[in-house]
Amino acid sequence: MLGCMITAGCDVGSLTAKAVILKDNKIISSYISGVKSTPIASSKMVMDEVLRLSNLALSDIDYICSTGYGRYDIPFSQMNMSEISCHGIGAFWVDNSIRSIIDIGGQDCKVVLVDEKGMIKNFIMNEKCAAGTGRCLEILAKNIGTEIGRLGDVSLKARKKHVVITNKCSIFMELEVMDLLYRDVKIPEIAYGINAAVAKRVAAMAQTLKIESNVCITGGVSKNKGVVAVLETLLKKKFKPLPVDAQLMGAIGAAVFAAKECASRSKAA
């Protein structure tokens, strides 16, 4: 990629912001953090940190692509791409055997199918309801007095896995959890029920597409072992482990698109 040696991707979601810098087609720095009050503040924070980690200045970056919920508000990016495209090409870039991606983020869930070049073949997305998202897990985790980052580990301690949360609306799910607490159901059992409910919602959506065997899970919820375990059981597939943090896939994909666009412009110049 003559003339485009260093590119960056910045992914500002509803709960976390991520940034990645690529140099000579290799990740040289990355950073993940909770979001600030605005997408501009979030993007500046994570970009400042990846630049510091790589000992670079913003002027050293040849091209920057933004993605995520706040992608239109990032002032230092030259282009933006959808989360669907970025998670697809990002997962494919780190492992070119990947053909299906399940991305569970803070405010939505996406199932993406890619071809042998990492381009989108088909996708389905849920963005109208919080159920099946990280935001839903965060709310319900607070209700049982735990942090979202611990919800997966807590659920794995459940001795009985029969707690079922039947509602598909996050508001009514919260009422169900409160009722379980009132009935003195043990916290690990409730945590299992919460994770299983989210996994069932995602699985139902995923099963509307023809998921291929080389499937991975991305997004913040990929770190919830409870959701992942139930989802693998429901889909009857094992997720391929990725060689880098699965929460970075959107930012990686954005950096890859930046490299492609920059190379194209260099060739045309």
Number of domains within the chain: 2
- Which has the higher per-residue pLDDT, 160 or 188? 188
Q: Are residues 139 and 216 in the same domain?
A: yes
What would the pLDDT profile of 142-158 be if each residue is shown by its tens digit?
A: 889 988 888 889 998 98
Computed on alpha carbons and rounded to an integer, the radius of gyration of the chain in Å comes to: 19
Given this model, what pLDDT does residue 269 score?
Answer: 60
Q: Are residues 197 and 226 in the same domain?
A: yes
Q: Are residues 133 and 190 in the same domain?
A: yes
Among 173-187, 212-226, 247-261, top mean pLDDT goes to 247-261
Least confident of 89-93, 135-139, 240-244, 253-257: 135-139
Percent pLDDT > 70 in the chain is 96
Reported as a pLDDT band with limits 50, 70 and 90, residue 1 is very low
Q: Are residues 105 and 202 in the same domain?
A: yes
Residue 43 neighbours by CB under 8 Å, 6+ apart: 10, 12, 17, 19, 66, 70, 73, 74, 75, 76, 77
Q: Are residues 118 and 235 in the same domain?
A: yes
Q: Are residues 154 and 166 in the same domain?
A: yes
* Statement: residue 2 has pLDDT above 70: no
Q: Are residues 105 and 237 in the same domain?
A: yes
Tell me, what CATH number does 54's domain have? Answer: 3.30.420.40
Distances (CA, A) of 103 to 58, 83, 173: 29, 9, 22
Q: Are residues 213 and 147 in the same domain?
A: yes
Q: Are residues 68 and 119 in the same domain?
A: no
Q: Which domain holds residue 224?
A: 98-241
